[in-house]
Amino acid sequence: MYTTTTNPYFNSVHPGTSSEQNLIDSLVIEQIAMFGADMLYLPRRMLNLDKLLHESSKSAFEWALPIPLYVKTFSGYNNGLEMLTKFGVRSSDELTLVMSRSVWNTNYAPFIKSYYNAIGQRPPESDLNYLEGETPRPKEGDIIYFPFDDSIFEIKYVMFDQPFFQLGKGYVYELMCEKFEYSGETFETGYEEVDETDVAPDYYRIEFDVEEDGTDTFLMHERVTIYDASEVSLVTQGLYPLEADRLNEDGTTEGVPMYIDYQVGDNHFRLYKDPGFLETVPKIEGTVFGWNKKTRKLELGDLTNLDPDQLNKETLDVDINKFDIVVIEGKNSGAQWVSLKANEREAAFNDNQVLQEEFDEIKILDDSDQNPFGFV
């Protein structure tokens, strides 16, 4: 049988010798070092992951790796437009970055692997769980801090075949990136320019009406812990037991401020997970974005867990929040206050309150009606 082969001396895609491949690899590393820029690479940690749909309603960025990258789109952002959408002004800036594959595999992949294994409580050299979104390579969903305009880009696609197998090998990763849009992620990297990302956007926040007699005062942007107090029988204004000398002469409590006989952490939240079933959550964490001690209004965002409002069977309003009656503690300040009502803070382009008011005008208070949404 007669066979033909290509000429190995003139074929640019024929597997070359290791010395030739190492030469190209060294030239790539040198070019990125000379004409690239130092950026920060942030691997995404997916929390509350739905393994069926492989989606997560909450993510965290806890680690930032300085890395040299070459800006391939050096002439400017691709499709660099600001568009007015129903959710506000949206930037569609795109960026293509080039990373040395050998530099990543040698200096960064081992740290990424140990990071994911530490999260999964596995030995450092264990195999990663790809179904959990763990991979030692750069992956879609990770983000990069771009220092030139103090912005963050999200990796949308990683190209493995550009340039197309010179001497039979790939030498770079091309990262197709788009301007990052904040959607409730937690940032705790230690880099101030990155960690302030959750402060800038006007994202979903909850406003708590706290009662009097709380202790100390919250600090801006400090982390707080929220404990469920909904099972406490006494409606409260504080955290201390009801004193007998505060009762009325007839022994009743009408008109007398009442206090909780309550130990923080006794009760647990029952919150919905993404697939639609309830789970037990001992506590919730959040960040202080607003605190007015005079009006007793506390504004929290960056919450570690959320839940849809529930149906009020008396008024048929969907306004019962599982965070209504809670104890809120500041991690740095030590402040401790009780809330009796939680409401979504009004924000631009948010019409939830308008929809609720329109529903209140047309709703029919009929016990025979069934709730079509199935809230419990």
Please report the DSSP string for 84-119 in residue order: EETTEEEE--EEEEEEEHHHIIIIIHHHHHHHHHHH
Helix (H) or strand (E) holding 28: helix 18-35
The overall average pLDDT reported for the chain is: 77
For the ranges 225-239, 255-269, 281-295, the lowest mean pLDDT is seen at 255-269
Distance CA 328, CA 336 (A): 6
Domain tally for the chain? 2
Same domain, 170 and 252: no
211 shares its domain with 284: yes
Cα–Cα–Cα angle for 67, 69, 72, rounded to 5 degrees = 165
159 and 234 both lie in a single domain: no
Give dist(CA 333, CA 218) in Å, integer: 6
Q: Would you state the pLDDT for residue 202? A: 62
Same domain, 160 and 215: no
- Whether 218 and 302 map to the same domain: the answer is yes
d(CA 134, CA 265): 33
- Over the range 28-50, which residues count as b (16 or more CB within 10 Å of their CB) and which as e? bbeebeeebeebbbbbbbbebbe
Residues 6 or more apart in contact with residue 197 via CB below 8 angstroms: 152, 180, 182, 185, 187
* 288 shares its domain with 268: yes
**What pLDDT score does 344 carry?**
79
Q: Which residue has the higher pLDDT, 56 or 108?
A: 108
Clarify whether residues 152 and 245 are in a common domain: no
> Is residue 341 very low, low, confident or very high in pLDDT (cuts 50, 70, 90)?
confident
Task: State how far the Cα of 91 lies from the Cα of 83, in Å rounded to an integer.
Answer: 6
pLDDT band at 238 (very low <50, low <70, confident <90, very high): very low
How confident is residue 99, by pLDDT bands cut at 50, 70 and 90? Answer: very high
In 3D space, the residue among 340, 336, 62, 339 whose CA is nearest the CA of residue 225 turns out to be: 336
Vertex 21, ends 17 and 24: CA angle to 5°?
A: 145
Structural domain includes residue 41: yes
Q: Are residues 22 and 143 in the same domain?
A: yes
pLDDT band at 218 (very low <50, low <70, confident <90, very high): very high
Q: Are residues 102 and 168 in the same domain?
A: yes
| Max Cα-Cα span within the chain | 112
Q: What is the pLDDT of residues 115-128, one digit of tens each?
A: 888 888 888 888 88
In a domain, 214, yes or no: yes
Give the pLDDT confidence score for residue 239 in this predicted structure. 44
Boundaries of domain holding 273: 206-362
CA distance 202 to 337: 25
Q: Domain check: are 280 and 139 in the same one? A: no
Q: 122 with 79, same domain?
A: yes
Q: Which of 146, 170, 198 is the last residue of a domain?
A: 198
Which of 170, 198, 226 lies at the terminal end of a domain, its last residue? 198
Name the domain boundary from 198, 226, 255: 198
| 24: helix, strand or coil | helix
Name which of 115-124, 132-141, 348-357 the model is least confident about.
Answer: 348-357
Phi, psi of 234 (to 5 degrees): -95, 130
Residues 6+ apart with CB under 8 A from 41: 64, 65, 66, 67, 108, 138, 142, 144
Residue 8, in any domain of the structure = no
Whether 191 and 267 share a structural domain: no
Q: Does any domain span residue 4?
A: no
